[in-house]
Amino acid sequence: MKKLNILILLIILTSLLAALPVSAQEGDNEVTDDEVNAIARELFCPVCENTPLDVCETQACKQWRELIRTKLEEGWTEEEIKQYFVDNYGARVLSEPPKKGFNLLVYFVPPIIILIGVVILFRAFKEWQGDNDYEDEDIETLEATEPETSENDSDANDYMAQFEEELKKTK
Amino acid sequence: MLPSLGYGIIVITFLVTLYSVAIALYGENKKDGAMIESARRAMLITLPLITIASAILIYLLINDRYDVEYVWSVTNRTMPTYLKITAWWGGQPGSLLFWSWLLSVFTSAVTLRKWDRDRELLPWVLVVTGATLAFFLALNVFYENPFKLIPAGVPTPLDGRGLSPLLRHPGMIIHPPAQYLGFVAVTIPYAFAIAALITGRTDDRWIRITRKWTLWAWLFLTLGLVLGMRWAYDVLGWGGYWGWDPVEIAALLPWLTISAYLHSVMIQEKRNMLKQWNMILIILSFGLVIFGTFLTRSGVLSSVHAFAESEIGPLFFIFIAFTFIVSFSLLIQRWASLKSETEMRSMLSREALILLTVLLFLSILIISFWGVIFPLLSELFTGSKVTVGPPFYERATGPVWGALILLMGIAPLSAWGHSTITTLGRAIWKPALAALIFPIVALVSGITNWIALSGFTVIGLVITVTIREFFIGIRARSQNEHLNENYFAAFLHLIKRNRRKYGGYIVHISMVLIGIGILGIELFQTDTQQHLALGEEIELAGYTLRYDRLDQFMHEDGRRITRGEMALSKDGVYIETLAPRFDLYPDGQPMTIPAVRSTLVDDVYVILVNWEGITRESTPFKVYHNPLVKWVWIGSYLFVIGILVAVWKDEDKKKV
Amino acid sequence: MTENIPENTSSETPPKKGMPLWAQITGWGVMIALLLIVFVGLQRAREGNVQAGAETASFDFTLPLFEGYEYEGKDEVSLTDLRGKIVVLNFWATWCVPCQQEADEMEEAWQHYQPDGDVVFIGVDYVDTEPEALAYLEEYGITYPNGPDMGTEISQAFRIQGVPETYFLDRDGVVQYVQKGPFATTQQIIGIVESLK
* Alpha carbons B326 and B154: distance in angstroms, whole number: 46
Is C127–A47 a contact, with Cβ atoms under 8 angstroms apart?
yes
> CA nearest A68: which of A98, A38, A97?
A38
Query: Residue B622 pairs with which residues in a beta bridge?
Result: B529, B607
For the residues of B117-171, what is the DSSP string, one character each?
A: GGGGGHHHHHHHHHHHHHHHHHIIIII--TTPBPPTTSPPPSS-----GGG-STH
* Alpha carbons B68 and B163: distance in angstroms, whole number: 15
Q: Which chains touch C (3 or more CB pairs under 8 A)?
A: A, B
Give every strand in the sheet of C175-180, ordered side by side. C146-148, C119-125, C86-92, C165-169, C175-180
DSSP 8-state secondary structure symbol assigned to residue A73: H
Which of A44, A89, A119, A125 is the mutation pick for testing C, counting most C CBs within 10 A? A89
Query: Residue B608 pairs with which residues in a beta bridge?
Result: B621
Provide residues of B within 8 Å CB-CB of chain C. 294-295, 298-301, 309, 313-314, 317, 320-321, 324-325, 328, 331-332, 335-337, 339, 341, 346-348, 373, 376-377, 379-380, 383-385, 420-421
Closest-CA distance, A168 to chain C, in angstroms, reads 39
* Alpha carbons C179 and C106: distance in angstroms, whole number: 13
* Alpha carbons A80 and A95: distance in angstroms, whole number: 16
Angle at B402 (CA atoms; ends B397, B407), nearest 5 degrees? 125
Is A50–B243 a contact, with Cβ atoms under 8 angstroms apart?
yes
HEC assignment per residue over B57-70:
HHHHHHCCCCCEHH
Burial label for B247, CB within 10 Å (0-12, 13-18, 19+), is buried
- The predicted pLDDT at position C182 comes to 86
* Alpha carbons C194 and C189: distance in angstroms, whole number: 9
Residue C117 has pLDDT above 60, yes or no: yes
Nearest to B427 among A102, A153, A160 (CB): A153
- What angle, rounded to 10 degrees, do the helices at A59-73 and C130-139 form? 120
> CA nearest C66: which of C122, C134, C153?
C134
How many other C-beta atoms are found inside a 10 Å radius of the C-beta of residue B318?
A: 11
Closest-CA distance, A39 to chain C, in angstroms, reads 16
Nearest to B476 among A42, A102, A160 (CB): A160
* Alpha carbons C114 and C96: distance in angstroms, whole number: 26
B625 phi/psi in degrees, rounded to 5:
-110, 110
CB pairs under 8 A between B and C: 68
Measure the N-to-C terminal CA separation of chain C; round to a whole number of Å: 82
- Whether the predicted model's global pTM rises above the 0.90 cut: no
Q: If residue B565 lies in a helix (H) or strand (E), which one and from where to where? A: strand B560-570
Angle at C144 (CA atoms; ends C140, C150), nearest 5 degrees? 95
SS3 C64: strand
Residue C46 has pLDDT above 90, yes or no: no
B491 with B474: CB under 8 angstroms? yes
* Alpha carbons A63 and B420: distance in angstroms, whole number: 62
Pairing of strands B602-608, B619-627: antiparallel
A128 with B340: CB under 8 angstroms? no
* Alpha carbons A45 and A60: distance in angstroms, whole number: 9
Query: Residue B602 pairs with which residues in a beta bridge?
Result: B627
Neighboring chain A residues of C127 at a CB cutoff of 8 Å? 46-47, 60, 88-89
* Alpha carbons B182 and B643: distance in angstroms, whole number: 13
Give whole-number Cα distances, C167 to C38, C121, C192, in Å: 29, 10, 11
B356 phi/psi in degrees, rounded to 5:
-65, -40
Q: In terms of CA atoms, which chain C residue is nearest residue A85?
A: C151
* Alpha carbons B137 and B632: distance in angstroms, whole number: 37
* Alpha carbons B361 and B355: distance in angstroms, whole number: 10
- The predicted pLDDT at position B180 comes to 92
How many other C-beta atoms are found inside a 10 Å radius of the C-beta of residue B482?
A: 11
> CA nearest A51: which of C120, C162, B232?
B232
C21 with B280: CB under 8 angstroms? no
* Alpha carbons B52 and B34: distance in angstroms, whole number: 28
DSSP 8-state secondary structure symbol assigned to residue B299: S
* Alpha carbons A34 and A111: distance in angstroms, whole number: 36
Q: In terms of CA atoms, which chain B residue is nearest residue C37?
A: B377
Query: Residue C76 pairs with which residues in a beta bridge?
Result: C64
Is B335–C18 a contact, with Cβ atoms under 8 angstroms apart?
yes
* Alpha carbons A92 and B357: distance in angstroms, whole number: 34
Query: Residue B565 pairs with which residues in a beta bridge?
Result: B549
* Alpha carbons A140 and A124: distance in angstroms, whole number: 23
| Neighbouring C-alpha atoms within 13 Å toward the C-beta of B334 | 22
Which of C46, C59, C97, C150 is the mutation pick for testing B, counting most B CBs within 10 A? C46
Dihedral (C-alpha) B629, B633, B634, B638: value to the nearest 10 degrees? 140
Q: What is the CA radius of gyration of chain C?
A: 27
- The predicted pLDDT at position B103 comes to 95
* Alpha carbons A30 and B243: distance in angstroms, whole number: 31
Task: List, for residues A37-51, the tens digit of each pLDDT value.
Answer: 889 888 888 777 778
Which of B311, B332, B343, B387 is the mutation pick for testing C, counting most C CBs within 10 A? B332
Angle at B486 (CA atoms; ends B483, B489), nearest 5 degrees? 85
C145: preceding bond cis by omega (within 30 degrees):
no
C177 phi/psi in degrees, rounded to 5:
-155, 140
How many other C-beta atoms are found inside a 10 Å radius of the C-beta of residue B442?
A: 19
Low-confidence residues of chain B, pLDDT below 50?
653-656
Q: If residue A160 lies in a helix (H) or strand (E), which one and from where to where? A: helix A154-170
- Characterize C133-160 residue by residue with b for buried, 16 or more Cβ atoms within 10 angstroms of its Cβ, and e for exposed: bbebbeeeebebbbbbbbbbbbbbbbeb
HEC assignment per residue over B104-129:
HHHHHHHHCCCCHHHHHHHHHHHHHH
Which residue type is seen at B350?
A: R
Q: In terms of CA atoms, which chain A residue is nearest residue C26?
A: A113
* Alpha carbons C104 and C96: distance in angstroms, whole number: 15
Nearest to A103 among B370, B386, B422 (CB): B386
**Which residues 6+ apart lie within 8 Å of C97 measured at CB?**
none
How many other C-beta atoms are found inside a 10 Å radius of the C-beta of residue A145?
A: 9
Mean pLDDT of A80-108: 87
Which of C42, C60, C153, C180 is the mutation pick for testing B, counting most B CBs within 10 A? C42
* Alpha carbons B636 and B221: distance in angstroms, whole number: 12
How many other C-beta atoms are found inside a 10 Å radius of the C-beta of residue A70?
A: 16
Nearest to C129 among A63, A87, A90 (CB): A63
A166 band by pLDDT with thresholds 50, 70 and 90:
low
Task: List, for residues C138-182, the tens digit of each pLDDT value.
Answer: 888 888 889 998 888 888 888 888 888 899 988 888 888 888 888
Q: Where are the domains of chain B?
A: 1-168, 524-632
* Alpha carbons B291 and C115: distance in angstroms, whole number: 57
Q: If residue B398 lies in a helix (H) or strand (E), which one and from where to where? A: helix B390-410
- The predicted pLDDT at position B254 comes to 95
